Each structure stands twice: as C-alpha cells, then as structure tokens.
Structure 1
Amino acid sequence: MYRLAIVVAICLMGTVLAGTVFAQEQPRVTLLQELTAELEKNNPEIRGARFRFEAATKRPSQVGTLPEPKLTLANVGVGQPFSRLHVSEFAYRGIGFAQEIPFPGKLGLAAEEAEREADSERQNYRSIVLEKTSQLKTAYYDWYFVTKSIEITTKNRDLLDRLEQIARARYAVGKGIQPDVLKAQVEVSGLAQQLELLEQKKLITEARIRSLLNSEVPLGRPSDIRQTAMPLQLDSILQIVENRSPRLQSEQAMVQSRAVAIDRARREYRPDFNVAFQWQHTASGFPDYYMATAEIKLPVYFGRKQRLGVEEAQARFQEARENYQAARQDLVFAAKDKYFTAMTSEKLLALFQSGIIPQSSTALESALSGYDHVVEL
C-alpha cells in the first residue's frame, strides 16, 4: 500500500511535468483477471495441491472397507501326494474361504479419520490458491509500479534536458553560470542510470509473474490502478480471519482428524476376528466334510504396541493443536500488519494529492516561467 500511494503520487506529478504527451502505439493491456485465471490452471503448486486433495478423497473408502476375503483350495492325499480319493476316507479335495473382520468400529473410525484429512487437504488447496493469487497481485502491482516509474522518470529526464538547454542558453547570453549547466548534465545522467535500474527491475518482475503462471505468455502492459478505500475495520477483518480462513480451517480439520486417531488407537486394544468355512469332498461312499473355524487375535503385546500407539496419537493431536495456534497467530499478525500499512498509505496518498504535488507543481511552473522569460530577453 505504501507503494500504491507513491505510484498514484508520481503519476499525478508526471502529468503536471510532462505537458502534452504525443500519442503512440501502446502494447496490449494485460488485465489482472486474465492472469489470475491462468494462474489457477497452470501454477504447479496449485495443481499439486489439487491432486493431493483429490488423492485424499480416495482414501476413506479404502480404509473403511473390509480386508479382501481369502479363497482356499486344498488337496489331501493318503500314502502319496495327490492320491486318488478312494484310497482312504481321509483323502479329500476341498474349497473354502476366510474373512478377517476387524473389531466393530475400527473401520468406521479409520474412514472418519481419512475424511477429516481429506477435508484438511481441500482447505489447504483453497489456501494455496489464495496465497498464490496474493503473490500474483503483489507482482502485478510491482509491475505497474515499475512501469509507471519508467514513464515518469523518462518524462523527468526530458524535462531536465529542457532545463539543461535553458541553462546553456542563459550561459551563452551571459545570464547564467557554467555550474548550472554541469549540474543539469549530472542530473540527466543520474536519471539515465535510474532508467537502467528500473528496466532491469521490470524484467525481474515480469519473470516473477511468468514463474507464477508457469508460462512464457506475452505480458503486454498492466492496466491502470485506481485508489480504493478500505471497506472494513480491523475487528471485522480479524473476525473474517477466524471464521473463513482456509488455512485455519485446514489446521482445524487436521486437529479433528488427530482426535479421531486417538479413538482409533484405543480401539486397537480390542481383538480382531477371522472366520473361515471349507467344504471337503471325498470319494463316493464316504461322506463329505464341512469345516467352520473362528479365530481371535489376542492383543497380548499391548504394552509394546497398543499403549505406545495411543501415546503416539495423543502426541500428534497436540502437534496439530499447536500448528493451529501458530497458523492463527501468523494470520492475525499479517492482517494487522496489512491493515495498518493500508491506513498509513491512505494518509500518505492524501498528503501527496493535497499538499506535496500542488506545491511542487506551482514551484516548478514558476521556475520554468522565470527561465523562459530570461532566455527570451
């Protein structure tokens, strides 16, 4: 915002100093809205965040579904492998299946945890879009600033060329002194150096914009920027940060996911099950066999596994809470910093418009009038 105030001020000053500007062909105006649309399509970080979010949405169904059942094929021979069935009633060929069944609630908690993580990634994607858009806007305004600075510096150089000519004319008719001529020449050289630095800065700024867009698109020239008043008070801005910031919502969703992870880790103390059924076919004359089994996993090593798993989940929950608080403090500070900067810039802009520019313009016109009058004499 400081820079915006200076941009508007030097534009007004340049208008006064330049006089009549001859029309010339200008490059195509590149609107900020065009670049923003290009940014959302091509920026690698935005695309990466979108793919990360899309990947996260595929996980809840995976972790919330039963493990794949197992198909069993069996052949039991008597006397030799793959013996014929009629040699013994204990020889058989069988087929069966088995299914592992986690303790009730485990799959639901795993799916809920993954859903919270997916929501966190969704909000993170929104946050990155806003962050990159903000960076693009800053680069665009810098581009406008340096472009206008080049225009104004060029006009100032032309004005100093005129003053140098006047100083030479006064010196030629004995009304001036040589130091005035030398001083004007030094000023012209200084502005030429400034123009070189500004041109370099313009190239760097344009490179920054192209980097954000991930494209070598021709940029043309920026559109004009107009002053806009701050529509909100600081309290309202902070309230919006608290309630609508995607970054905070992402961190909050991660806190919720870590809370669910604690419940899921505690559920690991409960045993899982495995059920199986098998049909065993024997030779004719012998009855077929049918076998059903049930298995229970006993968490006998809970002191080295489940207990530590709960402690790990609790530590990650605390980490998520601290990350949320850190993000909140960063955003609150950034909001206050930008707000106070904007308020100061508005005051500076008003000072330029009402005081500095009119006074400087009057003084300059008076000086030029005096120089011209002396030369005419």
Structure 2
Amino acid sequence: MKKTFSGRPFPPAARRQARGLLAAALIGVGTLSAAAAELGADVQGLLDHARTQNPELALMRAEAEAAARRVEPAAALPDPLLRVELMNVNNYGNDAGFNLLPNKVGETRYTLMQMLPWWGKRDLRRDIATADVRQAQARTAAAWTELSMRIQAAYARYYLAAGNERLTREILDLMKRVEQIAQARYAGGLVVQQDAIRAQLEQTTMRAELIMLESEKRQQRARLNALLARAADAPLAEPLALRPLPPPGALDAGALAERVRAANPQLMAEDARLASAEKSRELTRRNRYPDFSVGLQPTQMGSRITSWGVMLEVNIPLQQGTRRAQEAEAEAMVAAARARSQNLVNQLVGELGETVAMLDAARQSEALASNQTLPQSDLSLRSAIAAYENGRLDFTALLEAQRQIRKARQEQLKAQADARVRLAEIERIVGEPL
C-alpha cells in the first residue's frame, strides 16, 4: 500500500519550482544552432570529406586508372625486331683483314621482322583489358559504398551517444531540482529525509553513467575520424540531426532486389570478372592457331644493297596436351566466375530482406515511442509531480515516473539510430542512395 503525505499546503515559491520540473523533463535533444556547419554536424559533410580525402578510395581510383592505361597496349602489336648479320668478317679471299664495319666485310644481311598474332587475338586481348577496367571501377564503387555505410553507421552511433549524454544531463538537472524540493518538504516536516538522500543517490548513478556515455562518445568520434583519415582526437562538431528516412513505399523488398541486380557494384565487378574469363577462354582456344612473323631482308655488299629477300615464320602448335590443359583451366575459371556471381546475388538478396525487415522494425519502434510511450510517460511524470507536490504520492513513484520517461526517450533515440544504420546497410547492398 502506497504511503501518502498530508499537511499544510506547499509554499508558492516551491510550487513554481516544481512546475519548472516539467520543462526540464520535456523530451528532446534540445535546440541547437542551425548555423553550425562544422565537420560532424551532419552526415553529408562527413561523406563529402571522405570521398576526397580517404586514402583507400584514392588507392582504388589509382588502380582503376592503371587498368585503363593497359587497354591500348593490350591490343598493340609487339615491337618489330631488327637483326644485323655480318658475314665473312675476316674477309677471307681478299686482301682486307678482320673488320666489323658493314661496308668493310664480305656481306651484311639486315632482317626487319614483325610478329603478327592470329586474327582476332588482339581484339580479345583488348576486350579482356576492358573488362578488367570495368572490374577495377566496380571495385572502386564497392569500396565507396562500404565506406559510406561505415561512416553513416558510425555517425548514427555518434548521434545516439551524444543524445544519451544530453538526455542524462537533462535528467541529472531534473534530479537536482527534485532534491531541492525534497529538502524543502523535509524542512517543512512533510516528508522523511530519505527522499532527499535517494535523489542524491540517483544523481550519483547518473554521473557514473555520464562517464560511460562520454567514453562512448569519444570512441565513436575516434572511429569516425579514422574513417575520414584524420587524427583520432581531431575535433568533430556535435551531431545535429539524422538524415530523413525514405518513405515506406521506397523500401519494397522485391523492387530493391531488382535494383541490387542492376546497380550493386560487387555484382558489377563479378560480371566484369565473368566477361574477362569468357574472353580469356576464347583467347585460349585461338591459341590452337599459329602466329606469324614477316620480315624483309636487304643484303649489303660493300656500300651497295645487292639483293632483297622476304621471310615468313610460323609457330607450329604441336603441344596439344598443354593447350587442352589451358583450355580446361579457362573453362573452369568461367564456371567459377559464373557460380561466384550467382552466389553473391543470393547472398545480397538474403541480406537485403533481413535488413529491410530490421529497418521496418526500427521504424515501428520509433513510431511507438514517439506517438505512445513518450506522451504517456510525459503525462505520468506531470501527474507524479503534481501528486508529490500535494503530498498524495511518495518519492518512489516520482522516481519511477522519471525513469520511465528517460527509458522512453532512450528507446526513441536507439530506434532512430538503428533505422539509420539499417538504411546505410540497405544502400550498400543496393549500391546507390535511396
């Protein structure tokens, strides 16, 4: 059975002070300056910074550029060869002695040769190099979507830590005022001293929680700075707001699965790998046919060119066992690339379904907390303050009302952060913003 208190009316000044508790207990992160544009105030600024400053992205872009530079050489003819043969350098049969000058030996033969691959091989090498470029570019895009997801997730957790810290400070301020009310009521003989002591214990507990929350906030700040390629202790602005969620209609799992197949950079990289493997298989099959070398041979005697000759070389593809092994390897590489692509599709679609479900749950939790739990907790706190002020409620019930509204606000913050983490994961899977 709850104990109630009765006695003379509460003093007017203290009554006004009690009403002030309502303002301190009102839920909200608080109004922050909209003019704050420092790095960290919003997630888009962090993404813009990372896009230009992250060394991993710079590495991937450089690799893609290097791959693009390999396309032209892949289809180019090899450099021609020039051979110079000095015949009869000891000048046998005439009065001249040993000599290495072309016009002072018995005969000098020049051979200019150019290797010509079988028809279609150069085009296949170009196609392979082009597929490698697409693969490198897709890997760069995949690296960006992964980095973007990690930044957005870290920012959501940074926002959660900062929000919990602000909320705890607000409730701590509330408990300080509750302690003052309890002290005033105790001085008037209306309540026992234990009320004030319990208010002090509640404040001590909150100060201990603040230490942990400040530590969590520093950890998230260090994690964000690492993703931005900045020093761990580099300053970041307080997070102002989370990005808005897309409408529920934009999160249809079936439509998103189609977008995954069309736009996911990991799948695009696997498609390019498959195309490269198929072209490599075709090139391996073309190795059944010979390559050619053609040449021109002028012959010099003294200071005159006395004769001309032409030459043709053909390599003979006799090593059938080697070629069959190479063709079997190329066929296996195509099958592996195709299976890897299909496995990745199944994995991504499965992850997408799970993440969409988790986002929907987080959205519903936030709506429940905002529309029901918070208004109910706020009404409960208002009633508890009024009842405690008039001596109709004990201190335990007031503490419970305070804890309920704090818990509701924490649940709301957590649901908001979870929803943004899931949204970032969905965008990573889809490969583009929603």
TM-score (norm 2): 0.75
Deviations 1:186-238 (A, max 9, x none): 32122112111111111111112111111246421222236533332221111
Deviation at 1:281, TM superposition (A): 0.8
Q: Structure 1 92/109 Cα, relative in aligned 2: closer, same or farther at 3 Å? A: same
Q: What does 1:220-299 correspond to in 2, within 5 Å?
A: 220-225=237-242, 227-228=244-245, 229-232=247-250, 233-283=252-302, 288-299=306-317
Contact 1:166-1:371 at 8 Å conserved across structures: no
Q: Structure 1 227/92 Cα, relative in aligned 2: closer, same or farther at 3 Å? A: closer
Report what 1:98 is aligned to. 113
Matched letter for residue 275 of structure 2: Q
- Gap regions ≥5 residues in structure 1: 1-13
Is 1:66 the equivalent of 2:77?
A: yes
Partner Cα distance (2:327, 2:28) in 1? 77
Q: Structure 1 112/249 Cα, relative in aligned 2: closer, same or farther at 3 Å? A: same
Q: Aligned match of 1:345 in 346, 362, 385?
A: 362
Secondary structure of 1:231 counterpart: helix
Q: Structure 1 176/246 Cα, relative in aligned 2: closer, same or farther at 3 Å? A: same
Contact 1:124-1:247 at 8 Å conserved across structures: yes
Secondary structure of 1:39 counterpart: helix
Deviation at 1:338, TM superposition (A): 2.0
Matched letter for residue 186 of structure 2: Y
Partner Cα distance (1:237, 1:130) in 2? 16
Is 1:332 the equivalent of 2:349?
A: yes
Report what 1:119 is aligned to. 134
Deviation at 1:178, TM superposition (A): 4.1
Q: What does 1:314-329 correspond to in 2, within 5 Å?
A: 314-329=331-346
Partner Cα distance (1:21, 1:257) in 2? 53
Deviation at 1:39, TM superposition (A): 0.9
TM-score (norm 1): 0.86
Aligned residues: 358
Contact 2:29-2:166 at 8 Å conserved across structures: no
Q: Structure 1 234/21 Cα, relative in aligned 2: closer, same or farther at 3 Å? A: closer
Deviation at 1:46, TM superposition (A): 1.3
Q: Structure 1 273/164 Cα, relative in aligned 2: closer, same or farther at 3 Å? A: same
Matched letter for residue 85 of structure 2: A
Secondary structure of 1:270 counterpart: coil
Partner Cα distance (1:273, 1:100) in 2? 6
Partner Cα distance (1:253, 1:300) in 2? 33
Matched letter for residue 273 of structure 1: F
- Gap regions ≥5 residues in structure 2: 1-21, 393-434
TM-align CA RMSD: 2.8
Q: What does 1:143-158 correspond to in 2, within 5 Å?
A: 143-158=158-173
Partner Cα distance (1:250, 1:58) in 2? 18
Q: What does 1:1-377 correspond to in 2, within 5 Å?
A: 17-18=25-26, 28-29=36-37, 30-76=41-87, 77=89, 78-79=91-92, 81-82=98-99, 91-216=106-231, 218-225=235-242, 227-228=244-245, 229-232=247-250, 233-283=252-302, 288-303=306-321, 305-374=322-391
Contact 2:29-2:167 at 8 Å conserved across structures: no
Partner Cα distance (1:225, 1:102) in 2? 59
Secondary structure of 1:75 counterpart: strand
Q: Structure 1 191/92 Cα, relative in aligned 2: closer, same or farther at 3 Å? A: same
Q: Structure 1 25/66 Cα, relative in aligned 2: closer, same or farther at 3 Å? A: closer
Secondary structure of 2:242 counterpart: coil
Partner Cα distance (2:384, 2:305) in 1? 122
Matched letter for residue 387 of structure 2: G
Deviation at 1:60, TM superposition (A): 1.8
Report what 1:8 is aligned to. none
